[in-house]
Amino acid sequence: MPTSRSPRPGTRGWRAPASVLCGALLALTATPAVAAPQPPPAPAPAPDAPRSEPVFAADPVRETVWVDTGLDGDADGATYRVAVDIARPRTDGPVPVIMDASPYYSCCGRGNENELKTYDDEGRPVGFPLFYDNYFVPRGYATVLVDLAGTNRSQGCVDVGGPSDVGSAKAVVDWLNGRAKGYDAATGGAEVGAGWSTGAVGMIGKSYDGTIANGVAATGVAGLRTIVPIGAISSWYDYYRSDGVSFGADPRGLAETVEEGGRPECAPVKQRLDEGAPANGDVTDLWAERDHAADAANVRASVFAVHGRNDLNVKMIQFGQWWDALAANDVPRKVWLSQTGHVDPFDFRRAEWVDTLHRWFDHELLGMDNGIDAEPAASVERAPDEWSDEASWSGESAAPTTLHPVPGDTDGLGGLTSEPAPADARAAFTDDPAQDEYDWAREPDQASPARALFTTAPLEQDLRLAGTGSISVTATPATPTAHLSAVLVDYGPATTRDALGEGEGIRTLDSESCWGESREDDDACYRDTEATTADVDYQVLSRGWADLANHGSLSEESPLTPGTPYEMTFRLATTDHVIPAGHRLGLVVGGTDSAFIQAPAEPGRVEVGLAGTSVSLPVVGGAAAVRDAGLDRAPTGTAAVRPDRLPAEPRVLLNRDGA
């Protein structure tokens, strides 16, 4: 992984150390906030649409229950309990539950302001992070915040997306439905039931929290009616690895962070994490066990997914493979895709988010016929704060369409077209582990020994890519080890969210807006945000990486013989991007993308056989759209990039310690 380095004035931004926590990025230093008692107006619902109203007392019941998970992760012969902090209306009738299961309630905080749970002198919960309890409890919902096993006040051990993590949250859903036991103490104590619960549960959360929601849904547990995963992982392998290469981080670091350095009894669990996550990037049983997309056939809950198209922490492949699996199993689903990085919709589209989430939970948990299921299922941010809605996400109907790199007049520079290259066409690069995709992309009209670059002719019509692509290569290494990277680039001027900047597309303001009922030590007011923008002349749309030694299998490397050609197909991250008419689409092929992956043991020269190399793109409209854009003709010339309009390097690429 790269280390911090100073920006080059006028070109690139600051790159943060990789140790910054995912989902717990430090908020900007706060100045005294100015309270605004009323939030901005939300979109008006249909006049006759039912809606839950804030009719319950502002002072809810607050309590902690310890739920027996039935698990014994530390093998001490005793099942462990997890702490469940509850805020619920003072009412005799049963209520549905909004649940956020997280490992971050004491170590790192939640939300843009890094809120932690707080307790009074007797250990009773007082401060609940985020606005869910303030807003939804008065409207007849219980808010349930679960300390994942091994974190905060829960017993057990963290296993980073494994049976302990997922099982501890699932046990709480079971308890809310009368299928598990709860107690009023961490050990011993009296049994406590959840008679106040209807059993209808909606799980929500960003990053690790949303990942747990995905995992619990993939168990098919009864009573879980809906999940709202935000910037969430669907496969832990693809968080730490990619087609045989490593991003340089391992699950142990995350486990140690959220356990806050303690729990020596959990050492065997960490040892199993080390053994099951080999540095060579191979897929193992540990990774297969943490692939929630593979279990999507079990999902009974509806899914409202949110993801940043420029999220370089929990990358878009996580959304894409999860969505594809849900679609294949006809799971009811809705999606928002923003231009931000790893950012919660509360901080990039706040009024619309609160309103939409409110109506979603009313429909899914209270059974209100409010029409939200008939509204557009997909909303995509096309420009800063400009959203496009569609009945269903076009990534489901986009057709895989093949383009081919072809040689040009200058070695290392070529074209990208629907016609394949001649049989003897070649390109080559020498792996330079000091360079990354931004070095490769920034001068498309200049040859570089570190990459091969291919561009289309200027598009005659807009071309939309939506979905998950792939690249197939024929590569001949000059050394026994070789890593490959492929990058898609939109060359042309645009104003976009500054997702690679410090706030990943947002700026935190001094003013506040309030969302729900405030109480002492738990107010409902949060600092407002606004979009940050950048004028650029190119954008990276998608990227993928692979270890050529895994050309035959992702679970086992094969030795490479220098001078021997190998064929390999690997994935490109999910995207949804419109390339405007007049822009060019570029494909970069290189070795070590130092912004993301680790270098091979012996980086060297790699020759690419162009006749055996192609890229499969998810084109909305398929081959006809490619023809209309003029990509069935050979390109001429290359794109130019003004040096004063370059995208900044990302502030956070991968956070070593977590999701």
Closest CA to 254 of 241, 273, 238: 273
Report how many helices (DSSP H) and strands (DSSP E) the chain contains, helices first.
Answer: 11, 29
Query: In angstroms, rounded to a whole number, what is the distance separating the alpha carbons of residues 104 and 102?
Result: 5
- CB burial class (10 A; 0-12, 13-18, 19+) of residue 187? exposed
What letter would DSSP give residue 45? P
Query: In angstroms, rounded to a whole number, what is the distance separating the alpha carbons of residues 519 and 199?
Result: 27
Query: How many CA atoms are closer than 13 Å to the CA of 562, on its beta-carbon side?
Result: 8
Strand partners, 586: 455, 489
Query: In angstroms, rounded to a whole number, what is the distance separating the alpha carbons of residues 251 and 657?
Result: 8
Strand partners, 616: 402, 470
Tokens of 114: 């890094």
Cα–Cα separations (whole angstroms), residue 502 to 70, 642, 647: 43, 22, 13
Cα–Cα separations (whole angstroms), residue 464 to 201, 281, 567: 37, 32, 28
Given the residues 165, 243, 282, 311, select the one marked as catalytic: 311
Given the residues 207, 242, 448, 485, select the one marked as catalytic: 207
Active site residue 207: yes
First-last CA distance in the chain: 16
Closest CA to 25 of 340, 336, 323: 340
Strand partners, 67: 82, 182
Active site residue 342: yes
Site of tokens 């009573």? 223
What letter would DSSP give residue 4? P
Given the residues 307, 342, 363, 483, select the one marked as catalytic: 342
Query: How many CA atoms are closer than 13 Å to the CA of 566, on its beta-carbon side?
Result: 28
Active site residue 292: no
The total number of residues shown for the chain amounts to: 659
The torsion region of residue 201 among left (phi > 0), alpha (psi -120 to 50) and beta comes to beta
Report whether 447 contacts 410 (CB < 8 A). Answer: yes
Catalytic residues, by residue number, are: 207, 311, 342
